[in-house]
A and B are shown apart, each in its own frame.
Chain A
């Protein structure tokens, strides 16, 4: 059994071992060129650039692993601003003692996810820290994508009446990870929804539906994203709890653990604000895509008043009784190291 040693981060022949694995996993001419920087062609009018780090525990889980997350997370951040994701960097911080076969699996996952997403991993870095100073592996990915002029998905032109749509079932990732944490002991067939969503976003944008706003639903779930949107754009939103797509197992865990579905993290879902009249068209386009089968209309923009009454909750959810209650931004670390 081979393990990562301190020498693997020293920049010499041991590091080349790791670079070798990365090169065969990523199959990128840029990477193979071995330059200090990848020199890339410009493929669009505007460059979108994003970065994300991944520290999820455990490293492997049903539906994916830290590698797949690292690629999909960055791809999705590019996709939701309307950019076509193209080039990714991969920086690894490895803990001394990480089994080589785990590293190979993770890099392999990254390669597969990149291939599916149509992106290339063009540059990278490897560092090793002493045993006890890292949890096996941390990954940072930064990504470049290209967006045409004139496409604005930042919510600048949201109107009252606009529809809130989510692309599928909520909470799959969070409940998969939570189920694996020690002590809970729950078993189910649940898997993380980790997926690259560039294709889904393209399908949505190509449908002709007027899309005002898109966001990748990660930590803090739908509740976090809606509260962010509300604050950013001064809009009031209402969600219908019963309209949220939720898998049976997630619903069960939500009851058992007392965790609210809208606050659960996802890794393969988006929320979209779409012009009222275009909701059906948007849903049809998403349903036709493998990652949007359970897309649903879950709420509405009910106000665009930038100066609401004090104490007025701007993001609200309809309860069983029909009354509205606050849908608060999730607080604290109910679930640390989720991505």
Chain B
């Protein structure tokens, strides 16, 4: 008898029905339940596999701030654009970033004014371009959560090591514009400030507060593969929220939803790792060590959410040679000069900042699918492949 590899086994159709039934039983009599995930890839899976249709009417899966492209703040976008426009400098970026709207037009719009852009799929691609085009400065616009940060850290440590051995191996024309963000710290900040709220052990939250209330969290499986499930223990311990680390196959997500409902039914709040085939409690120690070697925490702004303390990553001084914010200090400070008003004003009519908190659905936005479409996005949620609005427009449940 051949065993299916895990990823195929967790997509087995015969398990879907029983899990859906089990969810219905757990959900009965619970009243409205809001479960939030914080990963664009989870939202894609939910839509792709039609999972919302399997849930009883009182259970809702809500997309939280899980799209790193969507939360990249305007000052960082303006910085990236300034570097792309700078003579002799090429901005290497993930494709999604190119169409994100900002005052004065997106990165792609800037191409018409001479901005040099290259689409890359990884930091390694950007480095390869730098090695090939020695006469130009190549800046890698590093956007993403921990999953994407780890490869960049590995790349930079290897680069630094090679350069230490032989000057010829150094790639002095390569640098990284660090726009990476951290998920656990973001959740802590959002819950701590009340922007997200939990139905804690003391009962439902008080009316009149801003945040939508969450009964359970589905935690990002691949971020957790890097940082470990224990990185999220504070959710249960400090905030009393049932939390489950989940993979991306239908069975992963349905089993996770069932677990959260079961916890709610029993009135408990625990952290459980249901992606144990890829996630260890301590995570990937080697990846964590490399990240710690290269990066230090800093406060970071999240588009639409303001500054969330300790949620950003800056390159340590030992890596200053590869730090675009150090190399191009003047260009970067000039890029935001005079733009403050535009930055404040932005997103008129765009509900992105509420969509990413799960307090509005894409369909609540009057522009969704009419004025705001991927070819003409008003906000970042419609641009990125991990953006809630785009995913819902392209893969959402048919009414």
Q: Is the CB of A324 within 8 A of B397?
A: yes
Interface membership of B393, Cβ < 8 A: yes
Q: Is the CB of A183 within 8 A of B121?
A: yes
Residue of A nearest to B374 (CB): A331
Complex CA gap A128/B51 in Å reads 55
Instruction: Tell me which residues across on chain A come within 8 A of B20, comparing CB atoms.
Output: 321
The answer to whether residues A313 and B121 also contact, given A258-B385, A320-B13, A322-B50 and a CB cut-off of 8 A, is: no
Chain B residues with CB under 8 Å of chain A are 11, 13, 16, 20, 41, 44, 47-54, 95, 99, 119-122, 125, 128, 250, 373-375, 385, 393-399
Interface membership of A328, Cβ < 8 A: yes
CB A221 to nearest CB in B, in angstroms, measures: 13
Instruction: Tell me which residues across on chain A come within 8 A of B398, comparing CB atoms.
Output: 312-313, 316, 324-326
Residue of A nearest to B108 (CB): A333
Complex CA gap A260/B375 in Å reads 18
Q: Is the CB of A320 within 8 A of B373?
A: no
Q: Is the CB of A331 within 8 A of B397?
A: no
Interface of A (DSSP majority class): loop
Q: Is the CB of B120 within 8 A of A319?
A: no
CB A220 to nearest CB in B, in angstroms, measures: 13
Q: Is the CB of A321 within 8 A of B394?
A: no
Interface membership of A39, Cβ < 8 A: no
Residue of A nearest to B121 (CB): A183
Complex CA gap A260/B51 in Å reads 17
Q: Is the CB of B397 within 8 A of A325?
A: yes
The answer to whether residues A320 and B120 also contact, given A258-B44, A331-B373, A331-B394 and a CB cut-off of 8 A, is: no
Residue of A nearest to B48 (CB): A319
Interface membership of A332, Cβ < 8 A: yes
Instruction: Tell me which residues across on chain A come within 8 A of B41, comparing CB atoms.
Output: 258
Inter-chain pairs besides A260-B395, A323-B50, 19 sampled, C-beta below 8 Å: A183-B121, A183-B125, A258-B385, A313-B398, A313-B399, A316-B398, A319-B50, A319-B53, A320-B16, A320-B49, A321-B49, A323-B52, A324-B398, A325-B48, A325-B50, A326-B393, A326-B394, A331-B394, A332-B374
Residue of A nearest to B49 (CB): A320
Residue of B nearest to A310 (CB): B399
Q: Is the CB of A325 within 8 A of B396?
A: yes
Q: Is the CB of B394 within 8 A of A328?
A: yes
Complex CA gap A229/B92 in Å reads 38
Instruction: Tell me which residues across on chain B come within 8 A of A184, comparing CB atoms.
Output: 121
Instruction: Tell me which residues across on chain A come within 8 A of B397, comparing CB atoms.
Output: 323-326
B interface footprint on A301-334 (CB within 8 Å = 1, 0 otherwise): 0000000010111001011111111101001101
Complex CA gap A319/B16 in Å reads 12
Q: Is the CB of A321 within 8 A of B396?
A: no
Interface membership of A182, Cβ < 8 A: yes
Instruction: Tell me which residues across on chain B come within 8 A of A331, comparing CB atoms.
Output: 373-375, 394
Q: Is the CB of B399 within 8 A of A311?
A: yes
Complex CA gap A313/B369 in Å reads 12
Complex CA gap A335/B69 in Å reads 19
Summed over the interface, the residue pairs from A and B with CB atoms below 8 Å come to a total of 75
Instruction: Tell me which residues across on chain A come within 8 A of B54, comparing CB atoms.
Output: 321, 323
Q: Is the CB of A321 within 8 A of B51?
A: yes
Instruction: Tell me which residues across on chain A come within 8 A of B121, comparing CB atoms.
Output: 183-184
Instruction: Tell me which residues across on chain A come within 8 A of B13, comparing CB atoms.
Output: 320
29 pairs from A and B in contact (CB 8 Å cutoff) = A183-B119, A183-B122, A258-B41, A260-B395, A311-B399, A313-B399, A318-B50, A319-B48, A319-B53, A320-B16, A321-B50, A321-B54, A321-B250, A323-B50, A323-B52, A323-B53, A323-B54, A324-B50, A325-B398, A326-B395, A326-B396, A326-B397, A328-B394, A328-B395, A331-B373, A331-B394, A332-B99, A332-B375, A334-B95
Complex CA gap A218/B336 in Å reads 43
Complex CA gap A184/B375 in Å reads 24
Instruction: Tell me which residues across on chain B come within 8 A of A309, comparing CB atoms.
Output: 399
Instruction: Tell me which residues across on chain A come within 8 A of B11, comparing CB atoms.
Output: 320
Residue of B nearest to A315 (CB): B398
Residue of A nearest to B99 (CB): A332
| Interface positions of A from 245 to 259, Cβ below 8 Å from B | 258
Instruction: Tell me which residues across on chain B come within 8 A of A332, comparing CB atoms.
Output: 99, 374-375
Residue of B nearest to A313 (CB): B398
Instruction: Tell me which residues across on chain B come within 8 A of A258, comparing CB atoms.
Output: 41, 44, 385
Q: Is the CB of B99 within 8 A of A321?
A: no
- Greatest chain A CB density within 10 A among B13, B54, B394 is at B394
CB A129 to nearest CB in B, in angstroms, measures: 20
Complex CA gap A322/B125 in Å reads 39
Instruction: Tell me which residues across on chain A come within 8 A of B16, comparing CB atoms.
Output: 320-321
Contact of B50 among A260, A320, A334 (CB under 8 A): A320
Instruction: Tell me which residues across on chain A come within 8 A of B99, comparing CB atoms.
Output: 332
Complex CA gap A321/B119 in Å reads 35
Instruction: Tell me which residues across on chain A come within 8 A of B50, comparing CB atoms.
Output: 318-325
Complex CA gap A321/B52 in Å reads 9
Complex CA gap A318/B393 in Å reads 16
Complex CA gap A1/B346 in Å reads 56
The 5 closest A-B pairs by CB, nearest first: A323-B53, A319-B50, A323-B50, A331-B374, A321-B50
Complex CA gap A332/B44 in Å reads 18
